[in-house]
Amino acid sequence: MIAAINILIVTKILLLLYAAWSDFRLWKIPNAIVLALTAVYGLHAALQLLTAEDVGAALFSSSGIPGDVGAGLLLFALGFGLWSFKLFGAGDAKLFLPIGLFIGWHGMLPFAVFLLIGGVGTLLILKLPMPLQLAHFSVVMRMEEIRTTRKIPYGVIMVAAALAVMALPNS
């Protein structure tokens, strides 16, 4: 059972990193990635139910599956609102659902803090001039393109914040 949980954790991290990379390179987060992340959470929830000592707590407490689903739906609604006002891309809004599922209700406050730190850090990186000796790197050239178009790949910041929350103890 431990091996299955470890495989799900590695799969979740790799899918999140791919979503961030795709958003950084193409300003797109594929629907298949969002669906795969949601399926990985479904497997995680099933394993959680199968291994739970108290199934009632897993099914009805805010630290169990309902808290995860509530966080996912709340973040998705927030993302949908931001998308409807053209402040977010559709992929970013959809990515909020599996991120909410994985961080859960109790991870919402740390996620908001890490998201704020990531947003401010991104703003500073995009405002400060790049040293000329780094200008030939493809990542720096992409950042210059992001700077000139003013289209921020929010998925990168969201994934970084989610991974930071998942790395915290008791998450």
Q: Which two tokens stand for residue 153?
A: 């790949």
pTM given for the model: 0.90
Predicted confidence at residue 85, as pLDDT, reads 96
CB 129 within 8 Å of CB 90:
no
**Domain residue spans of the chain:** 2-167
Residue 4 to residues 11, 48, 120, Cα–Cα distance (Å): 10, 11, 37
Measured CA to CA, the distance from residue 99 to residue 21 in angstroms comes to 16
State how far the Cα of 33 lies from the Cα of 23, in Å rounded to an integer: 11
Average pLDDT value for residue range 121-145: 85
Using CA atoms, how far residue 70 sits from 62, 63, 131, in Å, is: 8, 10, 44
Tokens of 166: 């998942």
Which structure tokens are listed for 128?
């400060």
Segment 138-147 mean pLDDT = 86
The span from the CA of 18 to the CA of 21, in Å, is: 5
Q: Write down the mean pLDDT value for the chain.
A: 91
pLDDT of residue 4: 67
Q: DSSP letters of 94-124?
A: HHHHHHHHHH-GGGHHHHHHHHHHHHHHHHH
Which residues, 6+ apart, have CB-to-CB distance to 121 below 8 Å? none
